[in-house]
Amino acid sequence: MTAQSGEQHDAGTNDVSVFRDRDVSYLELPAADVAVSARFYSAVFGWTVRGEGDNRGFTDGSGHLIGHWRPDLSVAGDAGVRPYVYVAAIDDVVAAILQNGGEIVTPRYAEGELWVAHFRDPAGNVLGVWEHP
């Protein structure tokens, strides 16, 4: 993986690091069907999936966030913490969400200079996407 300007790297390599002080770097996402969730996030956001069966993990597109899908966790739905994924083209991502089994909860809207939308993944988790055009 190549590094972008301003990213923190592992010592002596060009690999992007998840070991960044005080940074969110690991996420556990509830998943009723781990394979379905893995396909969804890979197709919509390009996340790299590793593992098999119910033991599948991911690395996001930046390389700064890793995690696992967890079939033993309750889906939060609209409650609790709501992660947001930054995207370069929100309309394309909204279309990909719909094409891959997700649901748009709140259509794209302006928030200052930003575009924001909320979606429900195939497991029922509600997350956000945002773009700074």
Task: Say which amino acid occupies 80.
Answer: G
Predicted local confidence at residue 4, as pLDDT: 37
* pLDDT digit string, tens, across residues 9-64: 444 445 678 888 889 999 999 999 999 999 999 999 999 999 999 999 999 999 99
pTM for this prediction: 0.86
Closest to 3 in 3D by CA, of 48, 66, 62, 58: 62
Extract the runs of DSSP E, i.e. beta strands, from 31-83.
48-52, 55-59, 66-70
Q: What angle do CA 16, 17, 19 make, to 5 degrees?
A: 170
- To the nearest 10 degrees (0 to 180), the angle between helices 90-99 and 34-45 is 150
CATH class of 26-131: alpha beta
Task: Tell me the residue length of the chain.
Answer: 133
